Structure 1
Amino acid sequence: MNKVFVRTKNVKKFVALMEEVKQLPANIPKIVLVFGEYGLGKSETIKWWTFKNDCIYVRANQGMTSRWLLSEIAEELGEEAFWHIQDTFNLVEQKLKQNPKPLIIDEVDYLVTNNVIEILRDLHDRTGCPMILVGMINIDKKLSRYPHLKDRIYKTFKFEPYDKQDIMQILSELSEIPITNDGLEYLATRHNQLRQIVKLINKIEKLAKTNELKELNEKNLRSILSERQNITTLQTSKQIFT
């Protein structure tokens, strides 16, 4: 499988939004809420963008406290957290003021139930740094409990389900084995979540190599993916395609 990052429509729109946020004047709130169903490449996109840009990435966890969150942010800034939470907050604030950079919090849903998310609002207000909160599909509704935070959200961005073009693009760019247009059309109807698509590519690549196929089209894909075929059939099916 090719080790490339596929820039789907969601990715391109997210990148454009991040560039827009970078250009905002100082008096405009810079919190962005990113959400969507699982399997649409949210976390992969965030990590890819983090790698390409100078920013802080922290993944929230179940049961994360304010002290724990601030300690993680401090560590990403190359600092060691203090015993007292206020001292750690002051340290993080100072570092972000000295060297402003976006702060990305993934799986932010974990921070809603115990009010930990409020500390992010305080950090945003004190530093003015862009903040990207990434969550699941209902995170925008969960944040309605925090009107002061919601009031600071510049824009929300929803990762939409992959359309046919997205799926065909992912298949085409990730597969090491060339796939014809009719093959892509056929495969695009099978799965619409990234992990499932990646598993499918891994499967068809193995089957293609087993059968010494140099190219995949609808006909041979239907044959090698047929559940009715046994191992013997797969091993001898090369004769069908030549």
Structure 2
Amino acid sequence: MALIFGEPGLGKTKTSLWWIANNDGIFIRTKKLMTGRWLLEEIVAELGEQPARRVSELFRQAQDQLLERPRPIFVDEADYLTHDVRVLETLRDLHDVTGVPVIFIGMDHADKKLARYKHLFDRFSEIVKFNPLTEHDIRMIADQLCDVRLSDDAIQHIATQANRFRRVMVWLYRAEAVAKANSLKEV
């Protein structure tokens, strides 16, 4: 099991979705009012099956599918699950029975919220905190994702305005629009 956490907009979800798109995993976005049953229904549906009616059957469906074809489960907005230990225990049980990785994705204080559940927290083999982007990070992102070359001054300007992936992407889109409107090869 693992935990990825950090402030909103740093790219935790996008990174997880990218990994899933290039590998074989499932993604569950939890909801504030999610129960254990609702969580199992979502997992079973993501595994490609019609969810059963009874909770015991739902668990068995998820277990059987994961044993037959093991895949990591990414659980986004994991902070929402800390209100009900039974929901967290359901994920721990699935991990224990199937051996599949379960990766929790949470906000800035998810580590502290989940640390209250020692039997779960002790299973995290990796805890990764996403931090705000540096100028170096922004340069790497721009070089890979932006359709126009950005000068060092442009990178510095973006760094003063945005240090989260989501906001940096807005600036990259703006740079591309300026370049296109003015026929520029570099902004």
TM-score over 0.5 (shorter chain): yes
The answer to whether the 8 A contact 2:158-2:168 is kept is no
**Counterpart Cα distance in 1 of 2:181 and 2:99:** 56
Correspondence 1:163 to 2:140: no
1:190 is displaced (CA, Å) by 2.4
Could you tell me which of 121, 134, 151 is aligned with 2:122?
151
Correspondence 1:203 to 2:135: no
SS in 1 for 2:8: coil
Determine the structure 1 residue equivalent to 2:82. 112
Determine the structure 2 residue equivalent to 1:228. none
**Counterpart Cα distance in 2 of 1:152 and 1:45:** 22
Determine the structure 2 residue equivalent to 1:20. none
SS in 2 for 1:188: helix
Correspondence 1:177 to 2:148: yes
Q: Identity of paired residues, percent?
A: 42
**Counterpart Cα distance in 2 of 1:187 and 1:154:** 35
Structure number with the bigger relative contact order (C-alpha 8 A, sep ≥ 6) is 2
- After TM superposition, the structure 1 stretch with the greater mean CA deviation from structure 2, 201-210 or 55-64, is 201-210
4+ residue runs over 6 A deviation: none
Deviations 1:209-235 (CA, angstroms, capped at 9, x unpaired): 33333322xxxxxxxxxxxxxxxxxxx
Deviations 1:98-127 (CA, angstroms, capped at 9, x unpaired): 222211111111111122111101111111
Aligned amino acid, residue 74 of structure 1: V
The answer to whether the 8 A contact 1:168-1:188 is kept is no
**Counterpart Cα distance in 1 of 2:132 and 2:158:** 16
Q: How does 1:65-80 map to 2 (within 5 A)?
A: 65-80=35-50
Could you tell me which of 111, 115, 125 is aligned with 1:140?
111
**Counterpart Cα distance in 2 of 1:77 and 1:158:** 28
Q: How does 1:210-229 map to 2 (within 5 A)?
A: 210-216=181-187
List runs of 5+ in structure 1 lacking aligned partners.
1-30, 217-242
The answer to whether the 8 A contact 1:35-1:158 is kept is yes
Could you tell me which of 60, 77, 95 is aligned with 1:90?
60
Compute the TM-score of the two structures, normalised by the length of structure 1.
0.72
List runs of 5+ in structure 2 lacking aligned partners.
none
The two structures, once aligned, show a CA RMSD in angstroms of: 1.6
SS in 1 for 2:34: coil
The answer to whether the 8 A contact 1:33-1:132 is kept is yes
The answer to whether the 8 A contact 2:135-2:155 is kept is no
Aligned amino acid, residue 55 of structure 1: G
Larger Rg: 1
**Counterpart Cα distance in 2 of 1:81 and 1:186:** 50
Could you tell me which of 125, 130, 140 is aligned with 2:101?
130
- After TM superposition, the structure 1 stretch with the greater mean CA deviation from structure 2, 80-89 or 165-174, is 165-174
Deviations 1:125-163 (CA, angstroms, capped at 9, x unpaired): 111111111111111111133121112121211112211
